[in-house]
Structure 1
Amino acid sequence: MKGYRILFFTQENRKVHGDTVGQWILERARKLGAAGGTMTAGGEGFGHSGTMHSAGFFEMADRPMTVSVVTDEPTCEALMAAIEEEGIDVFYCRNEVEFGRLGSDKE
């Protein structure tokens, strides 16, 4: 199947309606029917401002997070529209991909 892989970059301390931005995006993608998604914690990173974000020994709140979502085009567009409608400021990159399953139908 043809579709998109979207990577969203955020920090663990960024919230929307009580959830982290990463949790919100992952849950919205699931509800919209995305093929799959994963949230990953990073050790260190920087964004558009050049500020370093890292998982410190005592403070994990500034830890960089990446959310990866794979989905078809209509679901991708619906997810992007939902994020825009919610007013979430998040950096992303989107690439066209081919995706599917190989082997067993069991998870």
Structure 2
Amino acid sequence: MNGTILRFYVHEKRIHRHIALFEWLLEQAKKLGIQGGSAFRAIAGFGRHGVLHEEHFLELAADMTVEVEFVVTEAEADGLLALLKKERISIFYARVPAQFGAIEGDR
């Protein structure tokens, strides 16, 4: 099947409607009927301002990036992006064409 990989990059402490934005994204995708999504926490990285962010063992206040990823149809991607625009959420995303499917085997 052809579709798209839709990735969002947010700070883990960013809040929208009283919950973490990455959790809100997952909840909204589920409500839209998207069949799955995942959130991945970065261990280090830098963004548009060029500042390197790293988590240190004793650092409790780290605000690392979380990547929220969905493998979806074009229509599902359009629907989720439209919702974000409606909610007026400023967010960086990547949309990549993809072929996807599932291989069923003996369990």
Structures share a fold, TM > 0.5? yes
Change (3 A) 1:35 1:65: same
Contact 1:11 1:61 in 2 (8 A): no
**Equivalents in 2 of 1:60, 1:32: separation in Å?**
33
Amino acid at match of 2:12: E
Contact 1:10 1:65 (8 Å CA) reproduced:
yes
Unpaired runs of 5+ residues, structure 2, are none
Query: After TM superposition, what 4+ stretches of structure 1 lie above 6 angstroms from structure 2?
Result: none
Where does structure 1 lack aligned partners over 5 or more consecutive residues?
none
Matched residues in 2 for 1:30 and 1:60: separation? 29
Instruction: Answer yes or no: is the 8 Å Cα contact 1:54–1:64 preserved in 2.
Output: no
The CA deviation at 1:27 is: 1.3
Partner of 1:79: 80
Work out the number of aligned pairs and report it. Answer: 106
Percent identical: 31
Instruction: Provide, for residues 1-52 of structure 1, a one-character-per-residue CA deviation record: whole Å limited to 9, x for no partner.
Output: 2111011111111110111111111111111122321001111122222233
What is the CA–CA distance in structure 2 between the aligned matches of 1:24 and 1:88, rounded to whole Å?
11
